[in-house]
Structures are given as C-alpha cells and as structure tokens.
Structure 1
Amino acid sequence: MKQITTLFLILLITIPVFAVPDSSPIDWKVSGRLLLDGGAYIHSPKTLHAGAHISDVRLAAKVRIYSYWYTKIDVGFANNKVTLKDAFTEYGKDGNYFRAGYMLGYYSIDQSTSTNDLVFNTASNVAETFYPDRRIGVSYTRSLPSYYLSAGAFCGDGLSFSETTRPGYNFSGRAVWRPLNTSEVLLHIGAGALFKVPDKDTETGLQQIRLKSKGVTYIPSPRPLDLAFDHVKDQIQSNIECLLFRKKWLLQTEFLYTKIHQKDIRPSYSAHGGYILGGFLLKGNKYAYDALDAVPVMPQEPHSILVACRYNYTNLNDFSSHITGGSQHDLSIGINYYFNTYISSRLNYAHLWMDKYSLLGKCGINMMQVRLQVRF
C-alpha cells in the first residue's frame, strides 16, 4: 500500500507541471471528501454504544484530455489505513464509454451511488449486505437520454492477491430505461445481474463469499448480520430498481436477490431483500441525476433541505437449506441540509428489529446519528 500512496503523491505533483493555460486540451483537478459521524443508541442492547467516527477521508486526482479521455485515482485514508478506492481510465464519445482499471461493476442503483450522494448515512442495509466491492476489469456503457446499458468483466475479488491466491472472475450488467426524462420529471426503471466465481486459496482450497453489514451505521459496532461461505462454486445476483423525481418529490425502490451454489453435497443458498425510500424537498426545487452512471446525486441548489423516510428488509434465512443468517427490518427518517455544493449535514433516526437468528439475537435497536460532510 506504500507504493499506492507514493504513486498518488507523484501524480499530484506531476500533473500541475504538465498543466498549461485554459486553452490546453488537458483539464485536471484534485478533489476529496471528509465525513464526520456521531451516533448514540437508545433503549438498545448493551453491546452497542455511542461513538464518533471519521467514516471516510479521500483524496482524488482527476484528469480529462481532449474531452474524450478521463482518468481518476482515488485513495482513502479512513480507519488508519490507506486503501485504493478507484483507479481507472475512461474513453467516452457519442454516448459510448469504455473503462479499464480498478472500479465498480455497475449492478444496483444503491450499490452504485457515491457515499457523497446518499440520502442517509449508509446505503440500504440489503445493498450494503450484498455489496460485491470494487474489482479490476473492463466495462462498456451506452448512455443516452432514454436508456442506459452497462456491462463489465472483472478479475478477482479485489486487490488482495498473493502467491497462494488463484483469482476468480465475475461479470456484471445493468440496463435502465428512462421513459420520462425532462427538467420536470425523471422516471428510471432498471434491472441488473451479477455472476461471480470467487478467488481460491490454493493451499486450503477455500473459495469464500461473505454477506455482512453493520446495520445502518459506519460507526464501529458489532455486526448484526454476518454470514460466510467457504466452499463456494459460484454466486448469482439480480435486482430490479425504480427511481422517480417529480418536482420536489423523490421515490426510490429496489429488490435484490442472491443465490450461492456450494461445492460437493453442500446445499445451495439464497437470500433476498428490498427497500423503498421517499423524500420531499422542503427547500429547493429539484434533484440532480448522473445520466452517465444512472444514479441520483445530491441537490445542487444551495440551502436545499430534504426530508426522507426509508424502509428496508434484509433476509439471510434460507430454511430450505437449513442456513440461518438472520433477518433485519429497519425504518429510518432523516433531514438533510445542503449548505452548498461542498458542505452538507445529515440527521438520521433509525429503528431496527432483528430476529432470533441475527448475531445480536431477537432485539430492537434505536439509533440517532448526525453527519457533517465536506467535499471539494
């Protein structure tokens, strides 16, 4: 990871050297983010406690050449670790975009949305639980006003390769139809799919997939859901999604399903979940949307105020295979204030109720959270 940090610093130093006046075909910038979280539990299990946390710190370098070529390197520094977040090059022209590098494979709307632009402090619990993480690969996207298509092929489960790791492979795809796409209203209907063969440890023969989440927070706390499989043959995921902007109203909903095939005589396993999110702008006139990646982004008008409510259901119990990972329901309400494009704050309250198979047992959880977000 020291090599990554060195490369990043070299890039930040050398890019300004090659930058020339505004007439130059090269456009570059440095960006970043800082997320400060605080939270407290009310009438909840004693293993959960209040805390404050820097949930994300990022620095990124972005370069655009002749409007067609775009490169991004994004490095995270949270939790006293240096981690590579994005490192890819993109070529785009006439609605066609080709990417190669370490990046997301677009599959689900909530998994694809940047943390900067989430309505609540985290994505929906089901999206967090089924999240496949970034991977090394290539992708092609076709994005026009009425539709979006994306497909990618990837190698491995991340960047943690070793001499005893035989990288797996995976493919993802996503299609979105936008029958309404005007300044007044946006209707986005989509579906996605993911096929994955995980990395293999050549010494132990293990091929692992882990379904895990931390409820509705990034503050350090025990995980209520955490289920691991060590002898995986392959995994298939699918989703359907819908997004509606109409003046001051927001509606977003999604259903996700995953199936894991295990080796030998071990049974196949399936899990599912979904969420529905609604929002209303108390102040401000419209939402923003990234058509290239087909995801919502935060309101762009200064001093916008958004109130929102989200219900999520995550079920890791598959009684037909006698595998019980627990289930979680959660209901969240929140209010966000967007000072300007760079600074925003969030206040969230969530009530969670777990079944007896969760790692915390059957219980109810109440949590209040606040976030200050700075990005540039």
Structure 2
Amino acid sequence: MLKRLSFLVLMILFSVNVLAQEETVTFSGTIFEITIETGMNNNVVDLSSYFTSDNAIGYKYKQGKSGIEGLVIEIASDGKVNIEASNAGTRSVIFIGDDDITVAESNEVNVIISGDTQVSVSFSPDVETMELKEGESQTFAVSGDESVEWYVDDVLINHTESSYEFTGEEVKIYNIKAVAGESAKPWLVSVLSEEIVDPVTPLDPVPQGPECGNGIRETGENCGNCAADVKCSSNSRCEGGNCVLVKQTNLILYLGLLVGIIILAVVGVIFVRKKLLAKGGNKSLPTQQTRKPVQPVQKKPVSQPISAQLIPLVNYFKTNLSKYKIMDLKQQAMKQGWTKEQINKVLAWIKKK
C-alpha cells in the first residue's frame, strides 16, 4: 500500500514538473533553403507560418554554420523576412521566436545567393534604438566587402566579422557602432531589468505667479502693484509703475527756501526779544542787601531837616521813583525792615522838596 502511494506521489510531481516546463512558443515544420539574388529581396519567408504561441512573438536570428557575412536580415513584427545580399555565395541562418516566456529556434536555413557583387554597404537592423531584456541577445550585421570594425561604448572590440552578436549582460544603455569603410551605423541599446516597474504618472506642474512681499522682484511686479519688492531710490518716485528720476534742481530750490524761512524766523524772534528788553519790561526791582548805616550825604540845606536814620530810605526812593511804581517800592522797603510810618514820612518829605 505504501509503495503504491509513493508511486502515485512521484507521478503527480513528475506531471507538475512537465507542465511547468511546457514551452509556450513552438516551432513546427521545416524552412527550406532560400534562393535569392544580390541586392534587396523582400518577403523571402513568413516566420508566422512556422512559430506559434498564445502570446505575442518577437522574431530574431543568428548565424548558422556557413555564417551570414554580406547579408542584412530584417524581420518585421508580422514575421516577414527581407534579406539584402552584397555578394554571391552560400550562407546559413537560424531564426528564433520569443514570446517573453520561452524561446524556440528553427532549423538551420541555407541561403543561396547569385548575381553580381554589390558595392553598397547597408546595416541591420535598420533602426537607431532598441530595447533588450537582461541576458537577451541581438545580432547586428553589415553587408558589403568592406572590413568592419565594431565598437561598444566607443571602445573598439576584437571582432572584425560582418555580423556581431551582442548580449545585454548588465542593465544599462549601450552604444553599439559598426564602421565599414567610410560608412558607419550607431545603435542605442537599452537593456532592461526583468522586474516590472509600474510607470509613475507625473503630476501636472502648478503654475507659480509672482508673490508680493517676499523681498524678490519677480516678473510682473513693479513699484505700482508691489512697492514692498520694487522700491524706488531716494532721488526718484513711482509714476505709472515706473521709477522716474526727480530733477535735482527742484530739490535744491525747495531746500534753499526751507533754510531761508528758518533763518528769517530765528532773526524775527531775536529782534522781538531785544525790543521787549529795551522797554524794560523784564527789569527786576532793586533790593537793599543790608541796613548798614550810611554816611550822610552832603545835601543842600532844606527847610525841614530829616533825621539821619532815614537818609538811606530817602536815597532809595529818590533813586528809584522815576523807574518803578511807588507801591512796588513801598513793598520792597517794608521787606527790608522799614516801617510804614517811616516810609510815609520819607515820601512826604520828598514830595515837599
């Protein structure tokens, strides 16, 4: 019982392994030899009649035992093959079908060429750019009798045959170039990773307008619509969004008038002040510092003599009566210690004189 169960498990695993390795692209039949002439030969074979797959198939080729020197082979996406030959002879080629899952190869197909030798040089494939997956190969070819030099990333490689099979071993962009005599052909080959990367949709750029107040003069700003960012100089003013230079002659005239007015005002104030001082409006009243006895002044004899004690008071009034009011003089004398009776007596005596 255990043996039967083990055998059944092995059969299931074998079936799963076979299904997992089943080819999705297949080649059936045989492509017979192709007979062409020198020059261009169109639609010499239709590969879609031999390769089948449920997926889209891409077609390529590689050289057979007899080589493909002097041939330029072009395969359209529908599988139709064009071959350009530069000289007569026998060549051989193997066609390849690839649906990105599995790869199938045809039988080796002989190409019989007749006719005169073609002098012109042509390159295959007749494209400028192409994409390969990492580890995938591509054959480049040159027709003609010229010797061929091959360059990879501008470095001359040790290969002089008319065809060169390139393999994209690293994910990068390669620059392949073939030089035959005076003719040259470059190819830009992009080797892509097996990983599928979802494309990123770029965001639409948001239009940016000028921003007033950021301290930067931007397009569309002027002194009229954004004075914070566009400032006129000290000797100019803003008119209609433009800074207009102010004439210096007017500015000097205005300053001169202002200085003249200030000088006239100062002179006027000084003149009025001097005039008021000349009238004596600000004179202060004299004071008697002390009541020291004063030596009697020699006077002319008067009819009624006054006591020597009152002589200083008499001199005080005589000196100041013509300058000050009598009431002010009385108050000042009383502050110095003279009595009201003494003051009245002196004034009466002076009045009689």
Question: Which structure ranks higher in relative contact order (CA pairs < 8 Å, sequence separation ≥ 6)?
Answer: 1
Same fold (TM over 0.5): no
> If the length of structure 1 is used for normalisation, what is the TM-score?
0.21
Give the number of the structure whose residues are more often strand, by fraction.
1
Give the number of the structure whose residues are more often helix, by fraction.
2
Higher Rg of the two aligned structures: 2
> If the length of structure 2 is used for normalisation, what is the TM-score?
0.22
